[in-house]
Structure 1
Amino acid sequence: MRAFTDPTARKLALTGVAAVASLLLSACGSATDSAGDAASGTKPGSRPSAAGSPAAGAFNDADVAFAQAMIPHHQQALEMAKLADGRAEDTGVKKIVADVEKAQDPEIQTMRSWLKAWGRPESAGRNGHGGGHGAGHAMAGMMSERDMKDLESLRGRAFDRKFAELMIAHHEGAVEMAKTEQKDGRDATAKKLADDVVRTQSAEIAELKKILDRI
Structure 2
Amino acid sequence: MKRLALLVGALLAAVVLAACGNDSGSTGTSASTNTATATSATGSDDHNSADVAFTQSMIMHHGQAVEMADLAPTRASSAEVKTLARQIRDAQAPEITMMTGWLTAWGQPTISSGSGMDMGAGHDMTVMPSHSMAGMMSEQDMSKLRAASGRDFDRMFLTMMIEHHRGAIEMATTEQRDGFYGPAKELAGSIVTSQTAEITTMEKLLENI
Give the TM-score normalised by structure 1. 0.69
For 1:107, the equivalent position in structure 2 comes to 95
Distance of 2:200 and 2:141 partners within structure 1 = 22
Match of 1:88 among 72, 76, 87: 76
Shift of 1:83: 1.1
CA distance in 2, matches of 1:184, 1:79: 29
How many angstroms apart in 1 are the aligned matches of 2:208 and 2:134? 27
The number of residue pairs the alignment matches comes to 160
Deviation at 1:152, TM superposition (A): 1.1
Q: Show the 5 A alignment for 1:109-124.
A: 109-124=97-112
| 2:204 aligns with one of 183, 196, 210 | 210
Instruction: Please tell me whether the aligned partners of residues 172 and 192 of structure 2 are also in contact (alpha carbons under 8 angstroms).
Output: yes
- Contact preservation (8 Å) 1:73, 1:138: no
Aligned residues of 2:38 and 2:98 also touching (Cα < 8 A)? no
Give the Cα–Cα distance (whole angstroms) in 1 for the partners of residues 40 and 175 of structure 2: 17
Pick from 142, 147, 150 the counterpart of residue 153 of structure 1: 147
Which of 178, 184, 197 lines up with 2:178 in the alignment?
184
CA distance in 2, matches of 1:189, 1:211: 32
| Mapped contact 1:63–1:186 kept (Cα < 8 A) | yes
Secondary structure of the residue aligned to 2:164 is helix
**C-alpha spacing 1:145/1:52, structure 2 compared with 1 (3 Å):** closer
What is the SS of the residue equivalent to 1:85? helix
Distance 2:38 2:168 in 1: 27
RMSD of the TM alignment (CA)? 2.2
Alpha-carbon shift at residue 214 of structure 1 (Å): 0.8
> Which amino acid is the alignment partner of residue 167 of structure 1?
M
**CA–CA distance in structure 1, aligned partners of residues 38 and 137 of structure 2:** 37
Q: Percent sequence identity over matched residues?
A: 49
TM-score, normalised relative to structure 2: 0.71
Q: Could you tell me which residue of structure 2 aligns to residue 200 of structure 1?
A: 194
CA gap 1:171/1:54 in 2 versus in 1, 3 angstroms: farther
Q: After TM superposition, where is structure 1 displaced by more than 6 Å over at least 4 residues in a row? A: none
- The alpha carbon displacement at 1:124 in A equals 1.3
Deviation for aligned residue 1:54: 5.3
When Rg is computed on C-alpha atoms for both structures, the one with the higher figure is 1
What is the deviation of 1:138?
5.8
Deviation (angstroms), 1:154:
1.2
- The 2-side partners of 1:113 and 1:71 are apart by 11
1:54–1:104 CA distance, 2 compared to 1 (3 A): farther
Q: Residues 180-201 of structure 1: CA distance to partner in whole angstroms, max 9, x if unpaired?
A: 0000000000001101111111
